[in-house]
């Protein structure tokens, strides 16, 4: 399963790369613009939120690491977003290696609110990657509402 999840994450990286290439052409002011239809979040704050989801579930919760969260107000352009996602990729690599022999074994965890939860590393991997795709759709929609024409950011692209 370890090799399969590495391959799956490479597909996530490909889709993320298409999104990030597209956002390089969007001005920083638009990337940071709060959108009322999205709870006054910006494209950047959505991307930071997604990065923090990886840190919380994989590093802090599953691997019991003490890692700081990224702060949206400190991220002002796509270059800064790219830097935080380098850290996300490192977290994912560590996570997959850490659980390489036990990806399907459930274990006790704590939810963000402190309630207990039992999940496998495979389920956590699935959660963070699908969470990223959910927010990828939101940030693409945000850009469309600003008048941009999004590129195809699916895993299977022409």
Q: Is 102 helix (H, G, I), strand (E, B) or coil?
A: coil
Please give the pLDDT value at position 112: 81
pTM of the model: 0.93
CATH of 2-145, one of 3.40.190.170, 3.20.20.210, 3.90.1150.10, 1.20.120.450: 1.20.120.450
What average pLDDT score do residues 47-53 get?
Answer: 97
pLDDT digits (tens, 9 = 90+) for 67-110: 999 999 999 999 999 999 999 999 999 999 999 999 999 999 98
**What does the domain layout of the chain look like in residue ranges?**
2-145
Percent residues over pLDDT 70 in the chain: 99
Q: Is 125 helix (H, G, I), strand (E, B) or coil?
A: helix
Long-range CB pairs of 154-157, under 8 A, 24+ apart, other chains included: 154/15, 155/11, 155/12, 155/14, 155/15, 157/15, 157/18
Please give the pLDDT value at position 130: 96
């Amino acid at each position: 399963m370890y090799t399969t999840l590495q391959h799956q994450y490479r597909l996530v990286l490909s889709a993320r790369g298409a999104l990030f290439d597209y956002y390089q052409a969007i001005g920083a002011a638009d990337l940071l613009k709060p959108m009322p239809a999205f709870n006054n979040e910006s494209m950047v704050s959505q991307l930071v939120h997604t990065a923090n989801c990886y840190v919380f579930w994989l590093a802090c919760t599953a691997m019991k690491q003490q890692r700081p969260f990224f702060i949206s107000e400190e991220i002002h352009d796509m270059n800064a977003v790219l830097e935080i996602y380098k850290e996300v990729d490192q977290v994912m690599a560590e996570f997959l290696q850490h659980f390489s022999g036990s990806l399907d074994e459930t274990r006790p965890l704590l939810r963000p609110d402190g309630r207990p939860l039992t999940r496998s590393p495979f389920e956590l991997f699935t959660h963070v990657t699908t969470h990223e795709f959910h927010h990828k759709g939101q940030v693409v929609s945000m850009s469309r509402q600003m008048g941009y024409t999004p590129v195809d950011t699916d895993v299977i692209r022409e």
